[in-house]
Amino acid sequence: MKKILFTVVLSISIALGSSGQVDPNKNIDEGKIEGNTYTSNEIGWKMEIPTGWAVVEKEKTKENNEKGLKALQETMDAEIDYSGLKNLISIQKDLFNIFQSTSEPFKVEYEGEWEENSAALKEIIYLTYLDQGIKTDSSATTTEVIDGLEFQKYSFTVYSPNGKFILSQIMYSRLINGFDFGVNINYNNDKYRDELLMAFRNSKFKKD
């Protein structure tokens, strides 16, 4: 559930990272960036980074994690350990258009456990937005196939207190190689949404 941090924080305290880093590999916890290609060995995932999108600085991600953690703990009234969470590739165009991906070890102890966890995550996201005074609509959970793998998918639309549209979020998730793998696409216009969706939908996954 720790990947919720990346979802909630963008509407509570959106922030920009610098695109001037020398080595983008310093801003990821796992995998490698070579040219415009990101590869995660643990997930077995490869994605091309769209032209004009910058890798988000790790320090900015850490700062956002801490803000999201505070909001989560207020909603759940509990301490949360997110030490197992790994930041994979995160890229941004501007303040509202951001692609983020994470992985977290997930050991299945009974059939259907991961599915229950995913449904609970969606509910917690919604409740956290409400607790922060943010108006939000959510979609039904559906399934989308990417490179032969089924992903759970749902979305949120976030509004300001006066009802003005802020941004939309599309969330993908799947259990892969013992990891809860999540992708969060944040956008406020169709052009950038389509660029990010195309990049992720063209991903390649290593099959066993």
Position 85 scores a pLDDT of: 83
Rounded CA-CA distance 124/122 in Å is 6
Report the C-alpha dihedral over residues 182, 13, 26, 84, rounded to 10 degrees.
-50
CA distance 130 to 156: 12
3-state SS, residue 198: helix
Cα separation values, 122 from 95, 112, 139, 201, Å: 24, 16, 10, 22
> What are the mean pLDDT values of the chain's consecutive 10-residue runs (208 residues total)?
46 41 73 93 96 83 64 62 80 90 93 92 85 87 97 93 89 95 94 98 90
Q: What are the tokens at 149? A: 């793998």
Write down the pTM of the prediction: 0.84
Predicted local distance difference test score (pLDDT) of residue 72: 60
pLDDT confidence of residue 66: 66
| Strands (DSSP E) found in 123-177 | 135-138, 142-146, 149-159, 165-176
CB 180 within 8 A of CB 114: yes
Radius of gyration (Cα) for the chain, nearest Å? 16
CA angle 187, 57, 138 (to 5 degrees): 25
CA distance 68 to 128: 10
Helix axes 4-12, 113-131, angle to 10 degrees: 20
**What single DSSP character describes residue 4?**
H
Cα dihedral 191→57→23→99 (10° resolution): -30
Cβ proximity of 99 and 48 under 8 Å: no
Q: What is the pLDDT of residue 76?
A: 61
Q: Identify the pLDDT of residue 18.
A: 40
